[in-house]
Amino acid sequence: MELGAVLEAVEGHGAAAEAAERALLRYNEENRAVFRFDPADEDKRKKLCEGILNILEKDTQTSCQTACLEALRILSRDKKVLVPVTTKRNMQILMRLAKLDTVEDPLERVSEFPVIVEALKCLCNIIFNSAVAQKLSLELNLAAMLCNLLKKCKDQQLVGDIKCFDLRLLFLLSLLHTDIRSQLRQELQGVQVLTQALESSLNVRWTEEYKAAEDRDRPPLSLQETNCAIEALKALFNVTLDSWNVHSKNESHQFRYMAAILRYCLLTTGPTEDKTEELHSNAINLLSNIPVSCLDVLISPSSQEETDIKYNGMNMGAIQILLDFMEKRIDKGSSYREGLTPVLSLLTECCRTHRNIRKFIKAQVLPPLRDVSSRPEVGTTVRNKLVRLMTHVDLGVKQIAAEFLFVLCKERVDSLLKYTGYGNAAGLLAARGLLAGGRGDHWYSDDEDTDTEEYKSAKPNINLITGHLEEPMPNPMDEMTEEQKEYEAMKLVNMFDKLSRDEVIKPMGVRPDGTMAPLEEAVSQYHTNKQDSSDSD
């Protein structure tokens, strides 16, 4: 339908309300999937927005309100037409239709639900696309009203869509406006409200404190439940940023409670494989915000009747999900920084702090070495995949993969080199000042690794640089005369000298403390240390 005809019908609404509704319904049907608009019609679209809001300001029929709001939602995809929409008056109109201005009234009239949902969708688009609307949201106290609406949805049926878009709007506000994020965290008890919304979306049942009932026969979440849970997870992620320091017993309880829900979330599936992965991805992102001391609830004592994955009497089902998720993201081969680093960072911190988690993961990622005939980076095991990441072009990915393996080795250089080879580990060791050997700064239990007989017998012949057993190569100098050897040596010296003088390369050495330095400085420090240590009485 031609835009001018729609505008004419809307502006003549007072005389023919039904004609305006019919025109808008037809416009909505034709433009439902449109996201790019003709710049030539920009002024008409602005006038259409104004006309729609004039209709919505009056008490009109529910069907007409729904048609108007759907049209406004389509139009609000275009940032350029939002100037007439983003006023205090118009924002209040949409908030009234979304039932955000009624503090006490419960959600009872089911006929109004489509209007509430469409009004919330409009607010989502407008706030996402307009900085003016974001500032007005703080002035109008929109976050507090959304939290109140969320509480009304807690025990109500048939309000799934309302709850979902309420949560999405809270996510957008906490993402786009730092003051609203602070308001949610400090004034509105946003962590508690959003955690309860997540809990109800997942239908969690508790058997004891911090332990949810695990029903293996429960059906997957519905699409609506999954979407609500995802939106709650995203909003909680924003609100709990910078939550590493827990200062009170109440905060510690809140985060443990949240971690227990997230453990249940990891053991839950969505309606499709993609939705399950999205759900678990957002749960992992949120787990990364929780203080690591509160993550012990991810594992729990395993009862006799449970058949879940166990280690030292502990239920490791959630940790196994994290490992499987990590490997799946590695196998994707793309978007490592966004998709892989959160789960690797989470597993690294869990391993660093919780001994049982570290030992369980190490048993799967770095099992005792038996076959050392192949390079550590060659193969299809999790270890092979992680070692390949140690030389990835993305510095962040390379660092976190190396750090994860280093922590699994209890930050012992000799243990890391055994599993990765010196060449793959050199970047981490140089950054940590451990090229001369030693171990990291964190303390770990004293249980020692046990080498297999196969590894012990092969160890003397393993190439320390590549980390695998190599066939002995013939020495090209065996058949050379002394003159030929001297000639080749001087040729090599001259080549290095030329590269050094031309500043193509810069000879480096390792200081006594294990850090890198120019060769002259490193040699000088070694001589100084030697003289200091050889002083005679």
Where do we find the tokens 């499987």? Answer: 324
Averaged confidence pLDDT in the chain: 87
Closest to 292 in 3D by CA, of 262, 252, 261:
252
Q: What are phi and psi of 469, to 5 degrees?
A: -80, 125
Structure tokens belonging to residue 253: 């309880």
306 pLDDT more than 70:
no
Element (H, E) at 87: none
pLDDT, residue 501, reads 86
Helix or strand or coil: residue 472? Answer: coil
Ramachandran region, residue 189 (left: φ > 0; alpha: ψ -120 to 50; beta: rest): left
Assess contact for 428 and 372: CB atoms under 8 A.
Answer: no
| Distance, CA of 7 to CA of 448 (rounded, Å) | 78
pLDDT, residue 533, reads 61
pLDDT, residue 144, reads 93
Looking at the domain that runs over 1-140, which CATH code has it been given? 1.25.10.10
Least confident range of 103-107, 392-396, 457-461 = 103-107
Residue range 220-236: mean pLDDT, rounded:
95
pLDDT, residue 344, reads 96
Instruction: Return the half-sphere exposure (C-beta side, CA atoms, 13 A cut-off) of residue 149.
Output: 30
Degrees to nearest 5, angle at CA 507 with 504 and 512? 155
- CATH 1.25.10.10-classified regions of the chain: 1-140
| Distance, CA of 198 to CA of 200 (rounded, Å) | 6
Residue range 244-261: mean pLDDT, rounded:
82
| Distance, CA of 404 to CA of 345 (rounded, Å) | 8
Least confident range of 65-74, 127-136, 421-430, 454-463 = 454-463
Least confident range of 130-139, 142-151, 210-219 = 210-219
Using 50, 70 and 90 to split pLDDT, how confident is the model at 157? Answer: low
Least confident range of 386-395, 419-428, 517-526 = 517-526
Assess contact for 229 and 276: CB atoms under 8 A.
Answer: no
Closest to 397 in 3D by CA, of 343, 324, 352, 336:
336
